[in-house]
Chain A
Amino acid sequence: MRDHERIEELLAGYALLSLSGEDAQEADRLLAEHVPSCLVCRQALADYQMLAGDLALEADPLPPPDLLLARIHRQIDEVPLGRRSPRRGSFLALVASVAAFVALGGLSFVMVNRAHRAEDRMATALELINVLRSPGVSPVPVEATGSAPSSTGFIEVSAPDVRMLYLVARDCPDPRPGHDYVVWLGNGGAFTPVERFVPRDGVVLLRLPVDVSRFDEIWVTEEVAGTTPATPSTQGRSWGAHLV
C-alpha cells in the first residue's frame, strides 16, 4: 500500500518547484506510475498546482513598462505562427519521420515510458511535434563520442512547462549482445540513470517525466543489460550533450 502522506509531501514540494535530488526523482516516478491512477493523489496535485498559481497573487502587482507589450508584439510579428527556423525544421523532419515509422507499426520493442500500446506511442510522437513548435523549447543534438557512430542523430527535447524530456533518434545501432542503452542526466558531475532502452530498427522515441532544469548534462551509454551502474560507462558507445 502506498504511503499517501509521503506522496502528498512530495506533491506539495513538487508544486512549489522545490524538490531536488532523490525526492525529485521519486516525484517524477510517482507522477508517471501512481498519480495518474490514484484519484486522491490526482486531486491533491491539481489543488496544489492551483494553489501554486494563486500564491503568485501574494506578490504586489506591478505594471510592466508600457514598452513591454510593444516588444512582445514585435516578437510575435517577427516569428509568426507556423514559421520555424531551419534548424528546428530539420528536427521536426526527424521527429516526423519517427512518427511515420511509429504509425506504420514499428517501434514495438522500444520502451516509450511504459506506453506500450501503438496509439500511445503515436500520441507521444505527435505530442513531441507539438512541443517542438512551442516557444522556449530548444532541441539539443546529443553528439556521439568515442566509437559511437556520429550519424545516429539523437535529439533531446525538453519542455520545461510540462517537465518532460523526449529523446529521439534514428539510425541508432543495436547495442552489443548482452547490453542495452541507458539515459543519464547529470548535475555538477553527478549522474542519475533515468531510463534503459533498446532501439528497434534504429529508431528511438522516449518520453520521460523529468524536470530538465535540474540537470546540466545528458548522456546515453551502452551498459551491461540487467545491471545498474553507478556511473556512465566509458567502455562502450556513448553520446552526450550539455543542457542549456
Chain B
Amino acid sequence: MREQEVEDLELHRRLSGGDRAAFDELYGRYAAAAHGLALRITAQEALAQEVVQDAFLALWRAPEAFDPARGAFRSFFLSLVHHRAVDVVRREERLRTRSERASNLEPGRGEDVADEVVEGAYLSVRRKQIREALTTLPPEQRQVVELAYFGGYTQTRIAESLGIPIGTVKTRTLAAMRKLRRALTQEDVA
C-alpha cells in the first residue's frame, strides 16, 4: 500500500472519532480533485460547490460508509463525489435543458477562489496514469466513457446522441473499461 493511502486510512480513522483536524486534512487533500470533478460534470459553480459540500458532510457524518477492505479512500471518496454530481445533473435536467447549463460553463464565481492548485504528488502521479490510459483508447471508446462519466448520460441517451445502436454503446463501454482496468490495476500495484 502506498504511503499516502496509509495516511488516508489514518486520517479516516481519526475522522471517525470526530477529529476535526483530520477532516480538514482530508479536505485539503481531496477538495480540489472533488471540485474539479463536480464542476466538470455539473458545469455550474454553485452546483459543484453543493456537490463538494454534500460529499464532505457525508464523509463527516457517516465515515463508516468507507470500508478499507473495498479499496483506497481516494477511489471511495471520488466515487461519492461522482455519484452525487451525476444525481445533481439528472435532477437539474428535469428543470432545465443541458444547453442552458452549458452557457454557464464559465461563470463569474464571485468568491475568493484559491488560484494555486496544491495537490499531493500521489494524486498527480495517479492523474498522469489515468490520462495516459485514456489516451490509449480509440476515440469512439473514449467518447462513450466520457459521455457517461462526465456527462452523466445513460447508455440509452448516449446512443440517441451519437445516433448509434445501444448495443454499440455497450460494446464500446465494455471494451474501454476492460482496457482501463488492465492498464490501471497493473499501475496501481506497481
Chain A residues 59 to 101 lying within 8 A of chain B, measured CB to CB, are: 59-69, 71-73, 75-76, 79, 81
- Restricting to B24-46, which residues have a CB under 8 Å from any CB of A? 24, 27, 31-37, 39-40
Whether the Cβ atoms of B184 and A16 lie closer than 8 Å is no
Q: List 12 A-B contacts (CB under 8 A).
A: A5-B174, A17-B82, A47-B185, A50-B185, A51-B181, A57-B131, A58-B131, A65-B113, A68-B53, A130-B64, A134-B62, A162-B65
For A, the interface residue count at a CB cutoff of 8 angstroms equals 54
Residues of A within 8 A of B116 (CB): 63
CB-CB under 8 A from A75, the residues of chain B are 53, 57
Residues on B with C-beta less than 8 A from A57 are 33, 78, 123, 126-127, 130-131
Contacts of B84 in A (CB 8 A): 136, 160-161
Q: Which of A64, A130, A135 contacts B35 (CB 8 A)?
A: A64
Contacts known (A19-B154, A65-B109); A135 close to B62, Cβ less than 8 A: yes
- Please give, as numbers and ranges, the residues of chain B lying within 8 Å of A71 by CB-CB distance: 53
Contacts of A49 in B (CB 8 A): 70-71, 75, 79
A19 B75 Cβ-Cβ under 8 A: no
Q: Is A23 an interface residue (CB 8 A)?
A: yes
- Asked whether, in the complex, the Cβ of B155 is within 8 Å of the Cβ of A23, the reply is yes
Whole-angstrom CA separation of A69 from B34 in the bound complex: 13
The reply to whether A55 and B170 form a contact with Cβ atoms under 8 Å apart is no
- Interface: A32 (CB within 8 A): no
A residues 1-50 near B (Cβ < 8 Å) are: 5, 8-9, 12-13, 15-21, 23, 44, 46-50
Query: Taking the nearest CB of chain B, how far is it from the CB of A63, in angstroms?
Result: 4
B52, B74, B90, B113: which contacts A54 (Cβ < 8 A)?
A: B74
A56 at the B interface (CB under 8 A): yes
Report how far A91 CA is from B56 CA in the complex, Å: 25
A81 near B61 with CB under 8 A, answer: yes
Residues of A within 8 A of B32 (CB): 61-64
Query: Do A12 and B174 touch across chains, with their CB atoms under 8 A apart?
Result: yes
Judge whether A213 is part of the interface by a CB distance below 8 angstroms.
yes
Chain B interface residue count, Cβ-Cβ cutoff 8 angstroms: 82
Given known A-B contacts A13-B148, A48-B181, A72-B27, A60 and B36 have beta carbons under 8 A apart: yes
Residues of B within 8 A of A17 (CB): 82-83, 86, 148-149, 152
Q: Is the CB–CB distance between B62 and A133 below 8 Å? A: yes
Give residues 147-171 of A contacting B (CB, 8 Å): 160-162
A224 an interface residue at 8 Å Cβ cutoff? Answer: no
> Are A54 and B109 also in contact (CB < 8 A) when A63-B114, A161-B65 are?
no
List 8 additional contacts besides A18-B149, A63-B115, A71-B53; criterion CB under 8 Å: A13-B173, A16-B177, A17-B83, A17-B86, A18-B173, A59-B150, A65-B111, A161-B80
- Which of A9, A19, A48, A54 is the most central at the interface, judged by chain B CB atoms within 10 Å of its CB? A54
Provide the bound-state CA to CA distance between A52 and B82, in Å: 8
Contact B155 A13 (CB under 8 A): yes
Are the C-beta atoms of B184 and A161 separated by less than 8 Å?
no
A46 to B115, CA, bound (A): 35
B82 near A56: Cβ-Cβ < 8 Å: yes
Instruction: Judge whether A146 is part of the interface by a CB distance below 8 angstroms.
Output: no
| In the complex, A53 has a CB within 8 A of chain B | yes
Chain A: minimal CB distance from B185 (Å): 6
B143 within 8 A of A: no
